[in-house]
Chains A and B, each alone.
Chain A
């Protein structure tokens, strides 16, 4: 649609139509190569048959150029477009998302090739090429992807510029000129990127389909064990205040409060309390940090207990009643948010659990796991209080249980089997059975999933939390204190919490999660640096938002007032203009003086000595006539000179140049 409209705008005026410039062979070849390279990265994310569409149109266009095949009529073109659209709808099962949109664009880009006849059409193709380059960034945003994008822009500029060339140029030279344009444009672009304020999304956009990573909204035994082998990053944290110790780095993600005998899941929806006045935090330890989270396709975000305040540029994050962070939509783009958390929370008045809530958090299935229930009831019947029951359970884990990545599979009564038979498990087994025991004993409890710990990167001073740091623990309601975090895994394998999973596992398990980089210190350092570079890229390029902008501008310019910005921009503009003027003037001297004119200048100097000056605008002929008026004896020499000059300058008889120079040299003799 857009392309159509643009092409009508670009229609050559009827005056120019009679000499429409047809595309030369090299220009067409350039366009073909350009298209192929532009859509190449998109084909990773889009249906592969789009490549076939391009190949067919490229073949067709080539055959058209060679005069073998005819230009497709409008019926054929419409048919082709419909087939492509149909194919896309079929490929995406009727869903209209970002991919469908980009797929359509790629089809239009390919099919447009059949209509490209003149430089103007080709220019439109280049323009669409810029949009195609932009869509590459929807799918890949790594530094490598950005480098490829820069290459695409150079390619586009080179082919664009070539359209207006009237002579042929080597490929290298075209690239060089394209890169020159880009190089000259870069400084202005950087200034714009740094200074121009960022806006939030202007309207809702079709969601990108993104693979869900990390844990899901339910937890069965064995779920996190799979994640433990995944070394990919989950999020990176930069602390503005001193970071808390490792054993307090519990990144809460989701609260699971509903148990069906095997699987913990969450209640239907989240509730959001009215935004309460921020209480005076003088007595609490507040932690300020910002997180860049990798897209994981889920709405939940991660924070330390208890988030007091959260901000992100688009302002889409809210805090639930369970002190969780929820984004309005699933996280499909890498995103940055800032949190203030209070580690030790002191409630001004003792929190209360209503009877409904109490029932909810102690609810268990009607049947199943009888032995675990019996154990809990035996503790209760011994008249132990809540804290003693908790201690009992933790002591039980500590005495008899093993922390392993390869637990035996559990049957119908998973808690019973785990507690009494296998006694080997990963964190979700401990969290799940611990919560079960407490609920069976009548103590409100729930399972929390998230991440624990992370790896400190000393190169850029941030914490990298990987999928392998996924963890599950328990929160218990203590009367008068509220929800308290208890990690049963810490009772079994304290190393897991203090030093990370690699240290806590036995030798057999370590082979499973073995970080291949750890084997060599050099490789490990390299990996740290690479991740630090990735983080810097994310921090300063991908997630350079209004807040980062504010900070950077304050640091660079000393403030962000508009007068200050204006002055700086004017200053930069002047510097840029000066540089341009210098570059322009560097190459410029006066016009090239032709040799015959130089010779005449010599004559003028000789006549000047005789007292005759040539007036501005006086032709040589008039001047000589004037001189002859009072100096008739010079007639022979001067007439000859005038004649020779005439021959050289106006009839292009350059062979007589020497004669002229000789005549002037001998003048007035």
Chain B
């Protein structure tokens, strides 16, 4: 029984979304207007109409025109609140600004910019991606505002959070005005970092730098400022005791020992392998060990730094994604 119902629901939703898509094609910036806004009374309005009915009965039974007038007033307030709820949202334009990459399983922050051409502004606007959390904001006339709306990511690759629900029950809470915006939002999702065995460079690869890094590692090379996360073993206690500050001793081995995130050095299933590589990329970046990436058909030379780090993680995220035309990044950032 339940299954049939949810089956019907799925069919209904598919049809509905197709219809919605025809009415509001995917775009970078969308203005809310009568073409994409929907209004419908919610459950509370049933209670409201019940109250109206009670007042009407009171007026009819007591033959009291003032009470009857009040019940008519409540009905027309109902009608007017439909218009007000609509007017509250009409004239808002929403633009997708971008999204910060995140690791699979974490929420992704999508940055939206909203502006409102209504003189009265827009109150109590709720924004939500499917399955995400609701963000409530208030907009003022001609004051663009940036909002972060979070969507939940599940797997690596490109996250398209789906349709953005924009809704408001303002002003009276008995009418819900809403729309699903098919914004061209896409975010890069890195694999979930999972600790696996450390990958090793394959000698057969013939890369000399990789081989030399295995040697030694105990030659003291100098001191640098202590940074959070540095191993306690390498703190220059002598200098610390002399009250010169906290330093970390650097050894030749740290600088020269380049790590390789080698796909072939691990033998887990694909996703777990990528997660492992991701973990070690984060680990090396934190420990400031230069690391390179070796994936089938791709090589990134060992390096350090934000740019390199992101390039490595992006490569892991994009590696061997299932072919699906709708998953292409398109024109989004």
Residues of A participating in the B interface, judged by any CB pair closer than 8 Å:
2, 6, 9-10, 98, 119-120, 123-124, 127-128, 130-131, 133-135, 137-138, 141, 145-146, 149, 153, 157, 160-161, 163-167, 177, 181-182, 184-189, 192-193, 196, 198-203, 205, 313-314, 333, 335, 541-544, 580, 583-584, 587-592, 594, 617-619, 622, 649-650, 652
Please tell me if the beta carbons of B29 and A591 are within 8 angstroms of each other in the complex: yes
Knowing A124-B47, A650-B333, say if A591 contacts B115 (CB, 8 Å): yes
Please tell me if the beta carbons of B73 and A591 are within 8 angstroms of each other in the complex: no
Please tell me if the beta carbons of A202 and B61 are within 8 angstroms of each other in the complex: yes
User: In the complex, which residues of chain B have a beta carbon less than 8 angstroms from the beta carbon of A622?
Assistant: 331
Please tell me if the beta carbons of B64 and A141 are within 8 angstroms of each other in the complex: yes
Let me know if B57 is at the binding interface, CB within 8 A: yes
Complex Cα gap A594–B144 (Å): 9
Complex Cα gap A2–B118 (Å): 39
Knowing A124-B47, A205-B61, say if A166 contacts B124 (CB, 8 Å): yes
Please tell me if the beta carbons of B81 and A181 are within 8 angstroms of each other in the complex: yes
Please tell me if the beta carbons of A589 and B65 are within 8 angstroms of each other in the complex: no
Knowing A164-B124, A192-B75, A594-B144, say if A134 contacts B117 (CB, 8 Å): no
Please tell me if the beta carbons of A333 and B64 are within 8 angstroms of each other in the complex: yes
User: In the complex, which residues of chain A have a beta carbon less than 8 angstroms from the beta carbon of B124?
Assistant: 164-166
Please tell me if the beta carbons of B171 and A161 are within 8 angstroms of each other in the complex: yes
- Return the 5 tightest CB-CB contacts between A and B, nearest first: A188-B76, A591-B93, A137-B66, A192-B72, A185-B76
Please tell me if the beta carbons of B63 and A541 are within 8 angstroms of each other in the complex: no
Please tell me if the beta carbons of A544 and B70 are within 8 angstroms of each other in the complex: no
Contact of B74 among A130, A135, A541 (CB under 8 A): A130
Please tell me if the beta carbons of B51 and A130 are within 8 angstroms of each other in the complex: yes
Complex Cα gap A604–B43 (Å): 50
Please tell me if the beta carbons of A127 and B98 are within 8 angstroms of each other in the complex: no
Residues of B participating in the A interface, judged by any CB pair closer than 8 Å:
29, 31, 43-44, 46-48, 50-51, 54-55, 57-77, 79-81, 83-84, 86-87, 90-91, 93, 95, 97-98, 113, 115, 117-119, 123-124, 136-138, 142, 144, 146, 169-173, 331-333
CB distance from B186 to the nearest CB of A (A): 12
Contact of A590 among B31, B84, B138 (CB under 8 A): B31
CB distance from B177 to the nearest CB of A (A): 12
Please tell me if the beta carbons of A649 and B97 are within 8 angstroms of each other in the complex: yes
- Could you list 13 examples of A-B contacts with CB < 8 Å? A6-B50, A123-B173, A134-B58, A138-B62, A157-B77, A163-B173, A165-B123, A182-B77, A193-B72, A201-B62, A333-B62, A587-B117, A588-B91
- Write the chain A residue with the least CB distance to B54: A131
Please tell me if the beta carbons of A9 and B47 are within 8 angstroms of each other in the complex: yes
User: In the complex, which residues of chain A have a beta carbon less than 8 angstroms from the beta carbon of B44?
Assistant: 10, 120, 123
User: In the complex, which residues of chain B have a beta carbon less than 8 angstroms from the beta carbon of A314?
Assistant: 63
Complex Cα gap A182–B76 (Å): 9
Please tell me if the beta carbons of A592 and B79 are within 8 angstroms of each other in the complex: no
Please tell me if the beta carbons of A164 and B171 are within 8 angstroms of each other in the complex: yes
- Write the chain A residue with the least CB distance to B60: A199
- Write the chain A residue with the least CB distance to B73: A189
Complex Cα gap A47–B98 (Å): 65
Please tell me if the beta carbons of B61 and A203 are within 8 angstroms of each other in the complex: yes
CB distance from A590 to the nearest CB of B (A): 7
Please tell me if the beta carbons of B48 and A127 are within 8 angstroms of each other in the complex: yes
Knowing A123-B44, A138-B64, A185-B73, say if A166 contacts B123 (CB, 8 Å): yes
Complex Cα gap A185–B73 (Å): 7
Contact of A587 among B29, B119, B332 (CB under 8 A): B119
User: In the complex, which residues of chain A have a beta carbon less than 8 angstroms from the beta carbon of B98?
Assistant: 650
Complex Cα gap A196–B73 (Å): 13
Please tell me if the beta carbons of A333 and B83 are within 8 angstroms of each other in the complex: no
Please tell me if the beta carbons of A592 and B123 are within 8 angstroms of each other in the complex: no
User: In the complex, which residues of chain A have a beta carbon less than 8 angstroms from the beta carbon of B87?
Assistant: 583-584
Contact of A138 among B67, B76, B97 (CB under 8 A): B67
User: In the complex, which residues of chain B have a beta carbon less than 8 angstroms from the beta carbon of A583?
Assistant: 87
Please tell me if the beta carbons of A185 and B119 are within 8 angstroms of each other in the complex: no
Please tell me if the beta carbons of A130 and B63 are within 8 angstroms of each other in the complex: no
Contact of B64 among A137, A177, A650 (CB under 8 A): A137
How many pairs of residues, A versus B, come closer than 8 Å at their CB atoms?
A: 182
Most chain B CB atoms below 10 A, which of A134, A138, A203: A134
Complex Cα gap A632–B109 (Å): 37
Knowing A124-B47, A134-B55, A591-B29, say if A166 contacts B136 (CB, 8 Å): yes
User: In the complex, which residues of chain B have a beta carbon less than 8 angstroms from the beta carbon of A161?
Assistant: 170-172
Please tell me if the beta carbons of B173 and A201 are within 8 angstroms of each other in the complex: no
Contact of A141 among B66, B144, B170, B171 (CB under 8 A): B66
- Write the chain A residue with the least CB distance to B59: A134
Knowing A184-B83, A188-B79, A591-B31, say if A584 contacts B90 (CB, 8 Å): yes
User: In the complex, which residues of chain B have a beta carbon less than 8 angstroms from the beta carbon of A618?
Assistant: 331
Please tell me if the beta carbons of A588 and B90 are within 8 angstroms of each other in the complex: yes
CB distance from A472 to the nearest CB of B (A): 31
Contact of B43 among A9, A130, A160, A541 (CB under 8 A): A9
Extra contacts besides A584-B86, A588-B90, A652-B146 (6): CB < 8 Å: A153-B70, A163-B173, A184-B80, A184-B83, A186-B76, A544-B65
CB distance from B242 to the nearest CB of A (A): 43
Complex Cα gap A567–B59 (Å): 28
CB distance from B80 to the nearest CB of A (A): 5
CB distance from A581 to the nearest CB of B (A): 9
User: In the complex, which residues of chain B have a beta carbon less than 8 angstroms from the beta carbon of A591?
Assistant: 29, 31, 93, 95, 115, 117
Please tell me if the beta carbons of B68 and A193 are within 8 angstroms of each other in the complex: yes
User: In the complex, which residues of chain A have a beta carbon less than 8 angstroms from the beta carbon of B146?
Assistant: 652
Complex Cα gap A587–B116 (Å): 10
CB distance from A566 to the nearest CB of B (A): 18
Please tell me if the beta carbons of B69 and A189 are within 8 angstroms of each other in the complex: yes
Please tell me if the beta carbons of B67 and A134 are within 8 angstroms of each other in the complex: yes
Complex Cα gap A201–B62 (Å): 7
Complex Cα gap A165–B63 (Å): 38
- Write the chain A residue with the least CB distance to B141: A587
Complex Cα gap A200–B57 (Å): 11
CB distance from A40 to the nearest CB of B (A): 17
Please tell me if the beta carbons of A541 and B77 are within 8 angstroms of each other in the complex: no
- Write the chain A residue with the least CB distance to B125: A166
Complex Cα gap A166–B146 (Å): 17
CB distance from B247 to the nearest CB of A (A): 34
Complex Cα gap A145–B137 (Å): 40
User: In the complex, which residues of chain A have a beta carbon less than 8 angstroms from the beta carbon of B61?
Assistant: 201-203, 205
User: In the complex, which residues of chain B have a beta carbon less than 8 angstroms from the beta carbon of A146?
Assistant: 66
User: In the complex, which residues of chain B have a beta carbon less than 8 angstroms from the beta carbon of A580?
Assistant: 83
Please tell me if the beta carbons of B60 and A201 are within 8 angstroms of each other in the complex: yes
User: In the complex, which residues of chain B have a beta carbon less than 8 angstroms from the beta carbon of A123?
Assistant: 44, 173
- Write the chain A residue with the least CB distance to B93: A591
Please tell me if the beta carbons of B171 and A149 are within 8 angstroms of each other in the complex: no
Please tell me if the beta carbons of A2 and B54 are within 8 angstroms of each other in the complex: yes
Please tell me if the beta carbons of A202 and B173 are within 8 angstroms of each other in the complex: no
Complex Cα gap A138–B63 (Å): 10
User: In the complex, which residues of chain B have a beta carbon less than 8 angstroms from the beta carbon of A149?
Assistant: 66, 70
User: In the complex, which residues of chain B have a beta carbon less than 8 angstroms from the beta carbon of A188?
Assistant: 72, 75-76, 79-80
Please tell me if the beta carbons of B97 and A650 are within 8 angstroms of each other in the complex: yes
Complex Cα gap A98–B66 (Å): 17
